């Protein structure tokens, strides 16, 4: 609008980049009008001074809830802090150590690429990773999460959870739980220096039942517990909303979603949850476009379990441009959107994806996914083929790896791969690299066994083996 007058403009291409978090989700709380304190959504939070001399209750299980809880408990004049978590979360810090970010412990070979369809369907690699992850967490003090004794998920499994990487509040949440454990709890309190920390009380697997109308500050939970609060912070997330889209476009997204849900993948239950939240649907093709409107793209509307959204957005733009040129080569049988193989199995978010799997499936559509042969081929661009091979196989799915070949190939990305990304792998340390390489070797034997079994099966059936044909 210019000067208060609506105007219409026509464009050949439109990219929606408004972000995931735009419309706050406010849960319905019984008798909330009786609360005599302050209530605000986390989107309105600005400064920790609001917690002074307050009893603070934070609702939510995401990184925002953990950040706000930590800021509240870090304010020396805050009277008390509590966190209400309905289901639980998996807490692992962004940095395991100062120079070792979490995502450098994820590899590509046999996990996101060159994985036999049978191995993938049975989740064998993720099962192996789960065993390694649980062992690591156990040695760090708790099998529920990294030094996590409170608000845990029911089961820790690779590929099921969006990891909560905001870890600072975890030590404060641990204090009340560890104090009840005479031996091991107090030992780990001493190990992590939590003995004298101010506690954050946790109300796990419960929701607010009502507000006591007598005093207006006692919050009653449905498990019978209570907490006296002067302030409630709703770190309850956001709804996916596109108020600027026409009803026709929204209906197309809904129709595509329902069509995909009928094909399996448990989409029906998720569909109902989305209607409960009154959310707008995302397009079906990798959450980028719907088939009827290829010139309207949605960029950045994915939530990775581990990893950042910006590199995923860059690959989405590459895919969109190739699709406009008619260069997308996806197999007709490969599902996309909510039923694709890259979806996080826990289904907390309808757009929650496994980072590496999503990156590879999108890149494969445009012939941008690295191949072992291209990595080993020495050329003017690839002066260090063995470095490139190891960096790809034993590293994370960084965006430069998807510009080594394909329509957006760049010599600069070869240099980044064999220098900067190679250094990331080396800096992990010898023990970490040995451990990751060992997991890859076990995965190799899994996939080799699957290939041999497929050969036997195909001989019996008179079919030709497909081996590593894309599985979606």
Could you tell me the pLDDT band of residue 468, with boundaries at 50, 70 and 90? low
CA distance 351 to 225: 34
Of all helices (H) and strands (E), which one includes residue 186? Answer: helix 184-191
pTM: 0.90
Token pair 């319905």 is at which residue?
28
Q: How far apart are the first and last CA of the chain?
A: 43
pLDDT at residue 461 tops 90: no
pLDDT reported for residue 268: 39
CA distance 187 to 193: 10
Q: Cβ-count burial of 179 within 10 angstroms (0-12 exposed, 13-18 middle, 19+ buried)?
A: middle
Nearest to 317 by CA among 402, 412, 411, 256: 402
Most confident of the following: 13-22, 276-285, 433-442: 433-442
Tens of pLDDT along 358-387? 999 999 999 999 999 999 987 778 889 999
pLDDT at residue 449 tops 70: yes
CA distance 173 to 170: 5
Could you tell me the pLDDT band of residue 256, with boundaries at 50, 70 and 90? confident
Tens of pLDDT along 262-321? 544 444 344 344 444 578 899 989 999 998 999 999 999 999 998 899 999 999 999 999
Q: What are phi and psi of 135, to 5 degrees?
A: -65, -45
pLDDT at residue 233 tops 90: yes
Let me know: does 69 contact 83? Beta carbons within 8 Å: yes
CA atoms within 13 A on the CB side of 173: 32
Q: What is the DSSP letter of 454?
A: H
């Amino acid at each position: 609008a210019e000067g208060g007058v609506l105007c219409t403009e026509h464009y050949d291409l439109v990219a929606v980049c408004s972000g995931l978090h735009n419309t706050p989700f406010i849960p319905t709380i019984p008798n909330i009008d009786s609360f005599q304190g302050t209530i605000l959504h986390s989107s309105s939070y600005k400064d920790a001074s609001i917690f002074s001399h307050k009893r603070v209750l934070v609702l939510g299980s995401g990184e925002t809830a953990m950040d706000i809880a930590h800021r509240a408990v870090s304010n020396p004049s805050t009277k008390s802090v509590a966190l209400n978590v309905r289901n639980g979360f998996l807490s692992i810090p962004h940095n395991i150590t100062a120079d070792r970010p979490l995502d450098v412990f994820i590899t590509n070979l046999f996990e996101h690429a060159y994985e036999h369809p049978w191995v993938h369907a049975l989740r064998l690699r993720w099962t192996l990773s789960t065993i390694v992850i649980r062992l690591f967490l156990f040695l760090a003090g708790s099998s529920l999460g990294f030094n996590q004794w409170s608000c845990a998920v029911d089961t820790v499994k690779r590929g099921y959870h969006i990891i909560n990487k905001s870890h600072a509040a975890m030590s404060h949440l641990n204090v009340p739980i560890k104090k009840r454990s005479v031996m091991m709890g107090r030992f780990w309190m001493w190990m992590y220096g939590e003995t004298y920390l101010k506690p954050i009380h946790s109300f796990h697997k419960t929701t607010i039942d009502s507000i006591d109308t007598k005093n207006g500050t006692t919050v009653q939970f449905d498990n019978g517990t209570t907490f006296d609060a002067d302030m409630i912070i709703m770190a309850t997330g956001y709804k996916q909303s596109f108020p600027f889209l026409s009803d026709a476009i929204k209906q197309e997204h809904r129709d595509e979603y329902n069509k995909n849900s009928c094909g399996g993948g448990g989409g029906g239950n998720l569909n109902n949850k989305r209607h409960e939240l009154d959310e707008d649907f995302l397009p079906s093709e990798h959450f980028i476009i719907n088939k009827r409107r290829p010139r309207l793209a949605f960029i950045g509307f994915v939530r990775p379990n581990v990893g950042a959204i910006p590199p995923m957005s860059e690959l989405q733009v590459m895919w969109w441009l190739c699709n406009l040129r008619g260069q997308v080569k996806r197999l007709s049988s490969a599902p996309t959107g909510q039923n694709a193989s890259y979806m996080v199995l826990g289904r907390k978010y309808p757009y929650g994806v496994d980072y590496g799997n999503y990156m590879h499936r999108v890149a494969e559509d445009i012939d941008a996914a690295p191949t072992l042969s291209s990595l080993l081929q020495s050329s003017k661009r690839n002066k260090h083929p063995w470095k490139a091979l190891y960096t790809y196989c034993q590293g994370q799915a960084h965006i430069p790896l998807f510009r080594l070949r394909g329509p957006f190939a760049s010599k600069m990305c070869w240099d980044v791969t064999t220098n900067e990304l190679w250094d990331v792998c080396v800096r992990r340390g010898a023990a970490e690299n040995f451990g990751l390489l060992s997991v890859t070797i076990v995965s190799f034997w899994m996939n080799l066994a699957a290939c041999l079994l497929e050969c036997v099966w195909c001989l019996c059936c008179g079919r030709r083996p497909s081996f590593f044909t894309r599985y979606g």
